Structures are given as C-alpha cells and as structure tokens.
Amino acid sequence: MNPKITQQHHSKPAYIYIRQSTLAQVRHHHESTERQYALKDKALALGWPETAIRTLDRDLGQSGAQMAGREDFKTLVADVSMGQVGAVFALEVSRLARSNLDWHRLLELCALTHTLVIDADGCYDPGDFNDGLLLGLKGTMAQAELHFLRGRLQGGKLNKAQKGELRFPLPVGLCYDDQGRIVLDPDDEVRGAVQLAFRLFRETGSAYGVVKRFAEDGLRFPRRAYGGAWAGQIIWGQLSHERVRGLIKNPSYAGVYVFGRYQYRKHITPQGDVRTHMKAVPKAQWRVHLPEHHEGYITPDEFEQNQVRLARNRTNGEGNMLNGAAREGLALLQGLLVCGCCGRAITVRYQGNGGIYPVYVCNWRRREGLATRDCMSVRSNLLDAAISDAVINALRPAELELALTALKELEQRDQAIMRQWHMRIERAEYEAALAERRYQECDPANRLVAGTLERRWNDALLRVESIRTEAAQFQSQKARVVTAEQRAQILALACDLPRLWGAPTTAAKERKRMLRLLIRDITVEKLSGQRQFVLHVRWQGGVCTDITVNLPRPRPEAIRYPAETVEQVRQAARSMSDPQIVARFNQAGLRSPYGKPFTLAMIKWVRFRYGIAPACLTRPDELTVQQLASRLQVSTYVVYYWIDRRIVEARKIDGRGAWWITLDATKEHQLQNWIRNSGHLQP
C-alpha cells in the first residue's frame, strides 16, 4: 500500500478518466483503450471498493488540447473542486490534458482538496512540492509533445502540398482519376451545371443573379456528399447563394492547386469557453499556389475578374470606394460616380411621391460634420442623358457586330440550359432502367423483395414522366427558338442602337450592366460660379474624356419673363391695347416661360409687375361718367341712365373698363334744357 494513500482518500470515490484523441483511434487503436479501462483493477488493488470507482469515458474521441467539448473532464474538475474525489486515475498525464491552462488548474484544485493523481508511473500528491513539480513538468511535456506531433504532421502535409500531391476533398465538378490526378468530372450533367453557373455569372454579374436564373429555369445543381451512407455520391438540389459564392471564389475551378486558403483561429466566448473557428486567409498568404496544375472550367484571368466583381458587389463598401452590383433602380450611373470635391462615392437618393425621382447626392462631408452643406446634388436624368449619348456614340461603329455577338450568346445559353434538361431526362431514364433490371433479376415468388423493387420501378417511371413534362413546359414557355424572320428583326432593331437603348423593354438594370462594361468610373466636378458640371469619364480601356453638362435654370428664373419679352410689351403698350398685344404676340409665335400662348392675364401681369402703363386710347373730347356728372351737376346714376337709354354716346375701350362719353356742344345744350324742364332733376 502506498503511504500517500490514506483513509481519507479511501473514503471518497476514485475517478478513472479515459480519453482518446480521435474517433479513428477509438475504432482502430483498441489496446490503448483497454489499458485505460484496466486502471479499474489498479484502483481495486490500491484499496478502493468497486462501488467507489467511477469511470469517466464520455470524452473518447475528443482532443485534450482544450476543455471545450469534454464534458467528463468538466465533471471531474467540478467534483474535485468540491472535495468529492479521493484520487484521479489516468494512464498518463496527456490523457487528462494537453493544455497547461487546464492541467495546472486541475493540479491546483487537487492540492487544495488533497486529491491524489495516479498514473502508470506512480502516485502523486499535488500538495507536495516535489510531486507538484514533477506533475507540472509532465504537463509541460504533454503540451510540448502535442506541438511536436502537430509540427511533424503539418510539415509532412506542406511538403506534399508543395508538390501538388496532397489530396483533399474536391469541389463538385472535379474528381481524382486512377493515377490521383485532378480531372473534370466525367458526368456530362455535372460538368454542364458547373459551366452554366459560370456562364450565367458572366451574364448577370452577381451571385444572386445566378441563383435567380437557375430557379426561373427549373435547373438543379449537384452537391457531393462527404461522410455517412451517401459518401462520395452526387446529390441534386436547388442552387443557393452561398454555394454560388463558394463556386466563384474557389481557385480549383481555374486549374490552380492551392493549400492554406483557411486557418483555424481560437477565440474566447462570452461564457469563457475557448472556441475554434475557420477564417479565410488573404491570397498573398496562401502557403501553396500552383497555377496550371490541372484542367479547369475557367481561366486564371477570369477567376481574378470574378473576384473583383464579387468585391464590387458588396454593399457595405469595405475595401471599395465604388461598390454595388447593377440593380433595378432608375439611376443609370449608380456605383460609377465619384465626387470631384471630396473624392467619395456619390450615392443615390429617390425623392418625390413614391420615391420615383432619383437624385445623385454627395453628403459625406456634411454627415461627418466637416461641412454645413452637401458637396453636390443633381437630378439623375441630367447626367444619365449625357453619358447615354456618349456610350451610344462610342458603340455606333460596332452596332452590327455587337448585335450578332449578343444573339449568338443568347442562343448558346439557351442551348446549354436545354442540354441540362436533356441530361436530367437521361439520368432519370437510366435510373428507371436500372430499377427494371433489378426487378427482372429477383425471384417473383419472393414477394417481400419483388414488391419493393416493383414499387421502386414504378416510382422511377413516374419520375421520368414528371421530368419530361417539366422540360416540355420550360421549352414551350421560356426557351427561345429564333426563326430567320425573328433573327432579321432583331438585327434590324440592334442596328438602331438609340432606339434599342430607349425601348421600354430594355430594363434599367441591363443599361447599367452595359455601362459597367464600357466605363470604369466617372468623376463629377461642379464648376463654381457656373451652372455646369464636368464629367471626367474613365473608360475601361484607359482613355479619359470630359463631358460638360449644362444645368437648367432655377425654377424662379425659369418661369420669369425674359427681358426681351418685357421690352416688347413696353413698346407695344404705347400704341396698342392689351388684347391687341396678345393677338400680335401669338401671331408672331411667341410663347410664355411655361411654353404656352399668351393670354390677356399674362400681359396685364407683365405690365403690373414691371410698372408699364397702358396705352392712352381716349380722344381729347371724351369724358368719364364722373366728369360729365360734375359738369352738369347731376348724379352719376343719371349719367348711367342716359348711357343705358342711349341718350348720350358712350363706349368702353376693348369692351371693358370705364365708360368714355363723347359730348358735343349741341348735345350738352340739349341735356341742360332737359335738366331745367325736368320735374325730377334740380340743377
């Protein structure tokens, strides 16, 4: 009996901790596991009864590098801390922990609670200085051993990877041949699906665009299963956005052998646990990069272009000044404009009722508190029209060639989609034929087997008919079969590029994608003191051109009558009445600032606004109603009575305004006699 083991230790249970690092070791290395279970016999020999021995074996297949995932080790530490354990049995120190943090924490708890640590070499009391020092050295060696093992394994993997011989799971569309070389998948349907995904990414310019097209056309995408009963088999299903991103960002499709794209990093959770996560490594830090290692689906140049396009499609702007894919908004220059004042990207704001009027705005300096007003703000249609004209002029010499190329690309894409449907039908027919052969080869008398195989055969036949129906519906509704007449019409329309550009059927998103193919960016400069913008266009080929855009006048100035019109009214008012001025202006084809013919109210407003007196159209011998009433010493009602009864001759200028009365000496003498002889009128 070891003198370190006392009755106090025997009064508490003994814990036997069993662990293997991986499940493969559990399955194949049985001797180590058996030796650890045999520690129970050692505990019995040291005086612990069988009922006081507890075996902790739930951590089989868990690494000892950290505590996370090791539930039995957590239980052991908790029970030791509460003084409920007499001794901890382990085959060796590395079974308990390969981390100095976890190991020394356990030793400190064992020392505080007088718990023994027993391994194959002896019995140790962590509270004793010599035993504690020895256990600490053993823990350090266990952690160092893990480092050496990992270093040797990683060194071997790196050496093999540098020769391009390290095998790892390949993405769908690639596989290993009998000699271990990476080749394209021999399955035509799998290759066609991968090729179609890259083709659609070139056309749509975004990962979501590829997903949308696959969903609209009813296409499936393959996925290779890893592990389990379906390991190595191809499973067909819907294409997701994450899978498209993985497809575009994987250099293996460009024929490049890469090792070290990802690294495992550790972090501490809010709960205090140490977790390991995988993080992408920048391309410059890839440990192995072997171009032209195998046949790929795209070229390395196209792979780099795809990475740039994905980066520009990001909406958070990290790493990009200009970002965002072509979207459905009406602003054609979205994502292309740079402010000539602050150098930031110009954003789009939609204003008006329903937000249908796009405006280009640069408000970065104001948002950051560096200025009190925006750098610039301009309606999108002003800049869009200028850039559209420049693009049309640039493309005009190559209209026919572009039309033929676009039509050919459209036909090839539709043919690729139909090939996917045909190969899907062929696969379903093969599975149906295979189910039929299996049914024919079974014993008809064995109904337990024959019934199941017959049901599978019927299901396969129904699946074939269903796929054929879906393919026929797609071909009748979405597939484009261009006839000779339709081809001629398309080419005729394509030759008229301005008409095609402005056609209602041409979506704003398609116009934006065309602009991005030709233009890299546009720097917008606002000329101080002038209502002009200068667009510095940088084309994809490197050529730079400047386009000047004149801004319309402000609304108050736009609806103000020009000085020439005011002067014409002033000259005409000297000898003409307002209706005569209206007739003269309209006959001459003059228009108001609103673009409408002149009216009497407009002429009167001009005279009132600019103080233009009306023409003096009265004769010297004419009198007003008040003047005549004062001369004859009667009321104005009497004068109006005379006018109404046509006793006096009166007129209104242009049929409106005040009455003007013509009175000669004879008529005046007659009226005076009438007043004297009247019984109602008293002079």
54: confidence class by pLDDT, cuts 50, 70, 90: very high
Q: Which of 50-64, 343-357, 512-526 has the highest mean pLDDT?
A: 50-64
Q: What is the pLDDT of residues 64-75, one digit of tens each?
A: 887 878 888 999
Structure tokens that stand for 398 in this block: 């190559």
Q: Which of 21, 94, 206, 577 is catalytic?
A: 21
Query: 406 falls in which pLDDT band (50, 70, 90)?
Result: low
240 a catalytic residue: no
Q: Is pLDDT larger for residue 401 or for residue 430?
A: 430
Mean pLDDT of 302-330: 73
Q: Read off the pLDDT of each residue in 101-115 and give the average, rounded to a whole number.
A: 89
Reported as a single tens digit per residue, the pLDDT across 286-315 is: 899 999 899 999 999 999 999 888 887 876
Q: Which helix (H) or strand (E) holds 416?
A: helix 399-441
Q: How many helices (H) and strands (E) does the chain have?
A: 26, 23
What are the residues facing 260 on neighbouring strands?
A: none
Residue 495 scores a pLDDT above 70: no
Check residues 6 and 679 and name the one with the higher pLDDT: 6
Q: Is 12 left (phi over 0), alpha (psi -120 to 50) or beta?
A: beta
Report the candidate in 392, 376, 381, 385 with the shortest Cα–Cα distance to residue 338.
Answer: 376
What's the CA gap between 165 and 179, in Å, rounded? 11
* Range 88-99 burial, b when 16+ CB lie within 10 A, else e: bbbbebbbbbbb
| Model confidence at 656: pLDDT above 80 | no
Residue pLDDT, tens place only, 346-383: 888 888 776 678 889 988 888 777 778 888 888 888 88
CA angle, 245 then 248 then 254, to 5° = 155
pLDDT interval class at 135 (50, 70, 90): confident
DSSP for residue 213: H
Which backbone phi and psi does 573 adopt, to 5 degrees? -70, -10
Higher pLDDT, residue 337 or 397: 337
Q: Which residue has the higher pLDDT, 252 or 516?
A: 252
Q: What is the pLDDT of residue 194?
A: 92
Distance (Å, whole) CA 649 – CA 658: 14
What average pLDDT does the structure give for the chain? 82
Residue 26 is predicted with a pLDDT of 84
Q: What is the pLDDT of residue 556?
A: 73
Residue 319 has what pLDDT?
A: 47
pLDDT level of residue 249 (50, 70, 90 thresholds):
very high
Q: How far is CA 239 from CA 219, 220, 269, 301, 302, in A?
A: 8, 7, 33, 25, 22
Question: pLDDT tens for residues 87-107?
Answer: 999 988 888 888 888 888 889
440 confidence band (pLDDT: 50, 70, 90):
confident
- Residue 443 is predicted with a pLDDT of 75
Residue 105 token pair = 């924490």
Crossing angle for the helix pair 563-572 and 600-609, to the nearest 10 degrees: 100
Band (pLDDT 50/70/90 cuts) for residue 55 is very high
Beta carbons within 10 angstroms of residue 346's beta carbon? 28
* pLDDT given for residue 253 in this prediction: 93
Element holding 673 (H helix, E strand) = helix 665-677
Under the banding of pLDDT at 50, 70 and 90, the label for residue 387 is confident
Q: What is the pLDDT of residue 244?
A: 92
| Region 655-669 average pLDDT | 76
- CB 12 within 8 Å of CB 51: no
Half-sphere exposure of 644 (CA within 13 A, CB side): 6
CB 58 within 8 A of CB 71: yes
Please report the pLDDT score of residue 350 as a whole number: 86
581-622: per-residue pLDDT in tens?
Answer: 888 888 888 888 878 898 888 888 888 888 776 665 556 667
pLDDT of residue 681: 58
Q: Give the neighbor-by-neighbor strand order of the sheet with 116-118.
A: 53-56, 14-17, 87-89, 116-118, 123-124
